[in-house]
């Protein structure tokens, strides 16, 4: 689980095309969603200071593959 204060930085992996990103709180409520266009190594910041302290789930989807990761905002 990653710990952050103001932003989440997504980096790495070779992505081509649309990447859907969503952040959910522990009750399953969507707190943030966006779609980015990636071409090669992914490097993207998401501002999370407005979300408040707590545990969240980051979900990324690219070409039908889904990855989830826990994030703690402090």
pLDDT in tens, 7-25: 899 988 888 999 999 999 9
pLDDT in tens, 25-62: 999 999 999 999 999 888 899 999 889 899 999 999 99
pLDDT band per the 50, 70, 90 thresholds, residue 1: low
| Phi and psi torsions of 20, nearest 5° | -95, 130
Sign of CA dihedral 33, 36, 41, 44: negative
pTM: 0.88
Domain boundary assignment for the chain: 2-73
The C-alpha angle 6, 7, 9, rounded to 5 degrees, equals: 155
Give the position of tokens 């095309």: 17
| Fold of the CATH domain 2-73 | Immunoglobulin-like (2.60.40)
């Amino acid at each position: 689980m990653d710990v952050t204060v103001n932003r989440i930085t997504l980096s790495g992996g070779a992505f081509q095309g649309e990447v859907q990103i969503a952040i959910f709180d522990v009750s399953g409520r969507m707190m943030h969603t966006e779609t980015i266009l990636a071409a090669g190594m992914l490097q993207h910041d998401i501002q999370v200071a407005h979300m408040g302290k707590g545990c969240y789930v980051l979900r990324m989807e690219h070409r039908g593959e889904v990855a989830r990761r826990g994030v703690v905002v402090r």
